[in-house]
Structure 1
């Protein structure tokens, strides 16, 4: 017996069995002992629900997401509050409306502080004993403390937690990001797509061309790639024995990237896919049954309080959102949720100011600067072949009415029936049968922007100078003035003759921002504002506020009045900051776009060298576009 030899493979088998039993016992102990659930977010970049078979006919098949949906809850009405990464993610991490707290600009010129006393929500989870990890995108417009994540990196993993420690983990998937559609014509001609281009849906506002069909098909291929990556991660959770102790969220971080989605406040930019799986052990935390769909509206401001509620952590009062999962909620609570608020401001070098509110099937959009065409040049957007082709077809007069609207001035307000017009093509704002809905949603949106209050009614350079150190306090201190500016902006919603005296009063105000908004209203009315031409000429030449001067010059030249180039150059030279310069140049790009005969050359030598030398510099991009050396 002493010389008895045990084969090596037997040792391996015994040790494997011991390890399996130990792992199984540890997993069972974890499920039994853990008093709060693990929470995982699976986040795909840049994809609205319109591109998933789970939601739309012709969408990409995503079997792993669909399998998760069969065991979970599908949210038909999940919304990003903003149609771009940094603003959407700042909304998520804070639980606050970005225009209320100063994080509404993409890309931020300077970091905003969080509201006094508020922390990024994962920090509250850490204090409650959670391991927090993020792999890996952040993209916040806020100053971030070192206490938010245990690990935020490309190597971050929930596996690095202590034994039996609950975790909150975010896994980001990048294959659907906008940059993946920056292929060349040669690449498009040489590479086929898995998705058939012949049968792929083309949205009614897009031209039906080979370029758009290929882009649509390739984009759906990328969705399938993301789905495979998500499947691998879910398999990892299952192999680790964690699925029955983990609540899993899948959602897109904002809308898709085909033209007129990312960066735009339409449903294609805001309405995201969302699926939530709640295991049997934690089903008491969901008011909805697994394997169902819900029409309840949920927004990105709701994600932070939802996770805190699931973890049994008190939700801070400064958070704007409301939890949609947790013990305290009922199905009836969710059924009552039918409203979402959206915002769009600056995207890189392109400025705009648009707000939206959707209630049930109706969507109201307020274009506060309607003369700003959606298709105004933006360097990053126009790296996509589809954008370039769309612009060229417009220039050549080859688009129908729905397709060419992207490049034309917009209505100050639009109303859409999303149920019957999901792509927001038919504006119902002037329809007599929809006036009660229009007035209700107009009032709701006006209340929203006044009550926050919305900081974007001050130009960004002034806000940075006067309010960025404490945006919330600044907003409260100036709440009355902001409401007055909103009232001036809304003069454009009434007949000109009815508001003529109010516009004159604004243009003659001692308050520069009332003059500023009075001029924007004049531009909104267009040639109807001809009684103010002489006064506006004086403002363009002599106003003490540089931004008032550029708005005056903008109004004059948009409506076929002569403005000398020297005046524009003088205004540019007077700019006190890079941010102010960028806002001025945005007006010049608009003028150059809608008035093809307008020519101006802006010497780079008038700017500080550091404004032009940075990679991706906003001022440099605008100057090279204006001087017709497009990049």
Structure 2
């Protein structure tokens, strides 16, 4: 062993007396801190979008210091597929995460049990088992690129990616995850998920006092205007006010830490509103979301630039000075690698819980075009979960009694093969123009744009889901990630996995560890590193969708 290598390992041994050694990579000091505040199930029904029903002083103040996006869209009108797009920078249909829901989104660690007896039915009439989507091998959670660049990445706590997040995705991924846990001198990327406005809270908070008067709410024309509907809408706006208080708490913590002025802050919702004909729908009511971003080059104001959730991953990498990988289907709209503005956003709709369908859509600033592959099906799906919403019983009873008006009936009618809406003249997407000859040119143009987008692009939704699972999970058994033995040569540790596309995590300890789990302080392996004699090295590998490998352990023994 060379003398200088011996000196370095001696120094490394001194620095490794704590339980875990961090990656020795030097971290640049010019990386911005980034905070995501993610709420659930709300459309742009906030005061800075012109809806003053809910009082949101914290968001109002933040919006005044931010860029307010007037054309931000989810890729699917429900959380799981949209969140898979957010974390990967890919369309769900391109990676096999388009169906909601694949399984319980937890890390296995011996706890996850997949059931083959769900109520979900695919296009061929087969029952669907729970599974974790196996996505193409080259695709990673974008946070791995941030971690490799020196970021401390935390998620508190929801993931819902349609696959269990690999241990390499986050430094912390639990209810205690916080930027305050970042090592001194490291930039952070922190996500906080607020569930207060989720669809389920319409019934779980039904007994709480309303802070919004139901007489003051606006009832969309596709919902019956009655006491039950107004009370449910008032509950939602009251939940928005509760959510705003939680946003205020996070912003105050940033200010207490002296980080508010040098942190880029995103606020957005994971898809559109929670009401009937909102969540799960491929209309603006399900896809259009609030988005504000504070702290980017002191930019303040409003923009009608079209952005999609598939753009979030490359945008964060661009803001961090990291060139987005070529495989990503999204485009950065801020930062060093900002792309030219997009003209169109694309969306999809496949299985939601028990019911399967297939719809593809494209939207620009003027029109929304939908291609319905199964026009004989109704847009309405009799999803058991949604029927917990307090107003749904009354809504369905009115339908059964034939007491709905034409706009309220639309949701329950069978579809046409195509739909076209002028979103400026018809923001609720009620007047289908696809058979109106005056709009034949717009229909043709939007149809061609969608076809060009889909051409040559893999669409997992074309395949019956049961067949897709069989390709991901041979014989319907989850594949397992493999990891080779840990190699140590003169203190230099090299880690490999025999599974293509696997990421590897490791930790170093001066004591033998008997209870390592998902919340242990794993480090992302990016290149060989040195270890001092007398220390233990632990390594684990996982390809997304696979079960994680066994944990390998090696003691680098003293002579």
Aligned partner of 2:264 among 234, 238, 247: 247
CA distance in structure 2 between the partners assigned to 1:183 and 1:467 by the alignment = 36
Q: Which residue of 1 aligns with 2:438?
A: 433
Determine the structure 1 residue equivalent to 2:143: 122
Kept after mapping to 2: 8 A contact 1:89/1:139: yes
Q: Which has the higher helix share?
A: 1
Question: Equivalent of 1:35, from 30, 33, 37?
Answer: 30
Who is 1:61 aligned against?
Answer: 55
CA distance in 1 between counterparts of 2:204 and 2:255 reads: 37
Q: Tell me what 1:318 maps to.
A: 327
- Three-state SS of the structure 1 residue aligned to 2:49 is coil
Judging changes above 3 Å, is the alpha-carbon distance between structure 1 residues 402 and 58 closer, same or farther for their aligned structure 2 residues?
A: farther
* 1:91 aligned residue: 85
Residue aligning to 1:80: 74
C-alpha distance in 2, partners of 1:328/1:168? 18
Residues 301-336 of structure 1, C-alpha deviations (whole Å, 9 max, x = no match): 100001111111121111110101103438xx33xx
Map residues 72-471 of structure 1 onto 2, 5 A cutoff. 72-108=66-102, 109-182=130-203, 192-278=209-295, 283=297, 290-329=299-338, 333-334=340-341, 337-466=342-471
SS in 1 for 2:368: strand
Deviation, 1:367, is 1.4
Query: How far 1:118 moved relative to its partner?
Result: 2.1
| Secondary structure, aligned partner of 1:385 | coil
Contact 1:65/1:227, CA 8 A, preserved across alignment? yes
Q: Deviations over 1:468-520 (max 9, x none)?
A: 67xxxxxxxxxxxxxxxxxxxxxxxxxxxxxxxxxxxxxxxxxxxxxxxxxxx
Deviations 1:82-130, CA, capped at 9 Å, x for gaps: 1111111101001101111101111113112232222100011111110
Structure 1: 5+ residue runs without aligned partners? 1-32, 284-288, 470-631
Q: 2:116 corresponds to which residue?
A: none
Q: 1:272 to 1:412 in 2, by over 3 A?
A: same
SS at 1:212's partner residue?
Answer: helix
1:71 aligns with 2:65: yes
Alignment partners' CA distance in 1, 2:388 and 2:338:
45
Alpha-carbon shift at residue 192 of structure 1 (Å): 4.8
Alignment of 1:8-19 (within 5 A): none
Name the SS for the 1:198 alignment partner. helix
3-state SS of 1:297 partner:
strand
Return the alpha-carbon distance in structure 2 between the equivalents of residues 164 and 245 of structure 1.
14
Alpha-carbon contact 2:78-2:271 (below 8 Å) kept: yes
Distance 2:465 2:199 in 1: 26
Q: Deviations over 1:324-370 (max 9, x none)?
A: 1103438xx33xx2311011111111111111110112101111111
Q: Which has the higher contact order (CA 8 A, sep 6+)?
A: 2
Give the distance between the partners of 1:365 and 1:242, measured in 2 at CA: 44
Q: Does structure 1 conserve the Cα–Cα contact (< 8 Å) formed by 2:134 and 2:472?
A: no
1:183 to partner: Cα distance = 5.4
**Contact 2:53/2:216, CA 8 A, preserved across alignment:** no
In 2, Cα distance between the equivalents of 1:63 and 1:246?
Answer: 20
In 2, Cα distance between equivalents of 1:372 and 1:387? 20
The answer on whether the counterparts of 2:58 and 2:245 sit within 8 Å (CA) in structure 1 is: yes
Partners of 1:114 and 1:143 within 8 A in 2: no
Contact 1:183/1:384 (<8 A) preserved: no
User: How much has 1:290 moved relative to structure 2?
Assistant: 2.5
Give the structure 1 partner of residue 553 of structure 2.
none
Deviations 1:375-429 (A, max 9, x none): 2311101111222221111110101111011111111111111111100011111
Aligned to 2:42: 47
Q: CA deviation at 1:247?
A: 0.4
Aligned to 1:536: none
TM-score, length of structure 2 as denominator length: 0.73
1:178 counterpart SS class? coil
Structure showing greater radius of gyration is 1
